[in-house]
Amino acid sequence: MTQGRPMRADARRNYERLLKVAAEAFAEYGENASLDDIAKRAGVGSGTLYRHFPTRGALLEAAYVDRIEALGVRAGELAQDLPPGEALMEWLYELAVATLQVRGMKALLSSAVTDGSGAAAPPACGSVVKGAAARLVDAAQAEGTLRADVQPIEVLRLAHGVAMAAELAQGEPGEIRRYLRLLAEGLRAG
Amino acid sequence: MTQGRPMRADARRNYERLLKVAAEAFAEYGENASLDDIAKRAGVGSGTLYRHFPTRGALLEAAYVDRIEALGVRAGELAQDLPPGEALMEWLYELAVATLQVRGMKALLSSAVTDGSGAAAPPACGSVVKGAAARLVDAAQAEGTLRADVQPIEVLRLAHGVAMAAELAQGEPGEIRRYLRLLAEGLRAG
DNA sequence: AGGAAAGCGGAGACCATCCCCGGTTGCTGT
DNA sequence: ACAGCAACCGGGGATGGTCTCCGCTTTCCT
């Protein structure tokens, strides 16, 4: 649908260079890395950057799609290897770790689970995360270990909240697990 | 201790004007309101603003001390009117509401509960919030309705996480209560 | 080869933070 | 009352970020 023509060779080159440099820059300087600086490092003008990625969010998303998709795949693996309740919790853990560890992912994932009506950027990658969550939540609810009155999106939001809480305890890596376990108690069926 | 001399009259005038204007500006534009603009509105130069409040955080804190102290007082009232467990939860609710409602308070409260070692600004008001939380948590633990293995600071962080989670569900005001109730299950003794 | 369209790039407009220092104001002692 | 000296003011300007605009270059197609 968005494919009138294949991209011109130089355009594709620049696009990919930008993506590579952006991922490095976001990792190094966080989600507020200077965009003009990214353009400069990639050896292109800032105009080129803004044409390919109109907003910071668009670039952020494009730079991390593979990481997001890996989370989607991971959901499938966990669903196969663990009982539904445990699979969900382990996946939420890995999601929270990614949220904190990969600098710049926070903003991306957070806008993915925002009630879209008013927001600025509805990232496409949101559907991957939401889809994975929905599958794991449904399975756990069918199994009867997860209370039936919560929606997948709520679970995602709460996991994001847990990640934020853990972030406040900088330097205590075990805190994510600890807080998530407390959340799990609240989500348990019964 | 910080009181070598009383403040000069013009200095005090400017200080208070800035505080008043800053509270308005933060309420209107959020925590990223332009500082130079605040200075202009207050009828002072930007130099004056930066002399009184070296960082954005300092201004934010000064502008909201009264709101924070009101939360401290409220903790006392709730402790008197309700059983400890309920008092804690109601207070956390009001804390979360303040976090979301008063734009600009979020950053302030969040830095208050951060593991201070590396952070930029250790706000004095943090002790008010932490003190209130400690009292309510202790009482609830003594009563036996709150699990004994959580620390007050952890409860604060989790409440902050709940507020963040609720923020993602923009426009659903009941979500704070809902998410807090889930957290409460996880924190319940037993 | 040659022309049209797609794409490039960086100058520059705009806005924010924050320092700096010449000039001004309020306080204090006589 | 008034002189003198801190303390304090104010805004100009350096720095750095975002994002647009448009003349020029590159690619692709025939």
pLDDT digits (tens, 9 = 90+) for B156-189: 999 999 999 998 887 677 899 999 999 998 788 6
B49/B123 same-domain check: no
Q: Which chain B residues have a beta carbon less than 8 Å from that of A117?
A: 170-171
| Helix pair angle (A84-101, A126-143), 10° resolution | 150
Separation in Å, CA of A16 to nearest CA in chain B: 32
For residue A89, tell me if it sits in a domain.
yes
Percent of chain B with pLDDT over 90: 67
A101/A180 same-domain check: yes
A172 against A90, higher pLDDT = A90
Separation in Å, CA of A24 to nearest CA in chain B: 24
pLDDT at B4: 65
pLDDT at B120: 46
Domain membership of residue A107 as a residue range: 64-187
Q: Which chain A residues have a beta carbon less than 8 Å from that of B163?
A: 161
- Any chain A CB within 8 A of the CB of B173? no
pLDDT at A122: 59
pLDDT at A116: 58
A97/A5 same-domain check: no
pLDDT at B94: 95
Q: Round to a whole number and report the distance in Å from the CA of B155 to the C1' of C20.
A: 45
* Subunit contact B115:A183, Cβ cutoff 8 A: no
- Any chain A CB within 8 A of the CB of B115? yes
pLDDT at A154: 93
A72/A156 same-domain check: yes
For residue B163, the tally of other CB atoms under 10 A from its CB is: 29
pLDDT at A187: 80
CA distance A71 to A101: 14
Q: Which of B168, B178, B182 sits opposite A115 (nearest CB)?
A: B168
Provide the pLDDT confidence category of residue A177 given band limits of 50, 70 and 90: very high
How many domains does chain A fold into? 2
CATH of the domain at B27: 1.10.10.60
User: What is the DSSP-derived secondary structure letter of residue A8?
Assistant: P
Residue B36 pLDDT > 60, yes or no? yes
Q: Which of A110, A171, A172 sits opposite B168 (nearest CB)?
A: A110
In angstroms, what CA-CA distances link A137 with A83, A92, A99?
A: 12, 11, 19
Q: CA angle, A93 as apex, B138 and A158 as ends, to 5°?
A: 60
Over range B144-155, report the average pLDDT: 93
What's chain B's length in residues?
190
CA distance A59 to A52: 8
A102/A31 same-domain check: no
A138 against B100, higher pLDDT = A138
Provide the pLDDT confidence category of residue B122 given band limits of 50, 70 and 90: low
Q: Which of B115, B186, B187 sits opposite A171 (nearest CB)?
A: B115
pLDDT at A119: 47
Lookup: nucleotide whose C1' is closest to B50 CA: C18
B86/B167 same-domain check: yes
pLDDT in tens, A4-62: 678 999 999 999 999 999 999 999 999 999 999 999 999 999 999 999 999 999 999 99
* Mean pLDDT across chain A: 89
Q: Round to a whole number and report the distance in Å from the CA of B138 to the C1' of C1.
A: 86
pLDDT at A140: 96
3-class secondary structure, A65 = helix
Provide the pLDDT confidence category of residue B118 given band limits of 50, 70 and 90: very low
B15/B96 same-domain check: no
pLDDT at A4: 67
B101/B49 same-domain check: no
For residue B9, the tally of other CB atoms under 10 A from its CB is: 8
Q: Which segment of A23-32, A119-128, B87-96, B107-116 scores lowest on mean pLDDT?
A: A119-128
CA distance A127 to A132: 8
- Any chain B CB within 8 A of the CB of A110? yes
For residue A59, tell me if it sits in a domain.
no
DSSP string of B126-161, one letter each residue: HHHHHHHHHHHHHHHHHHTSB-TT--HHHHHHHHHH
3-class secondary structure, A188 = strand
* Subunit contact A183:B183, Cβ cutoff 8 A: yes
pLDDT at A11: 97
Residues 42-61, chain A, CB closer than 7 Å to nucleic strand C: 43-48, 51-52
Separation in Å, CA of A114 to nearest CA in chain B: 5
Q: Round to a whole number and report the distance in Å from the CA of A13 to the C1' of D28.
A: 16
Separation in Å, CA of A170 to nearest CA in chain B: 6
pLDDT at B114: 76
Over range B139-153, report the average pLDDT: 93
Residue B28 pLDDT > 50, yes or no? yes
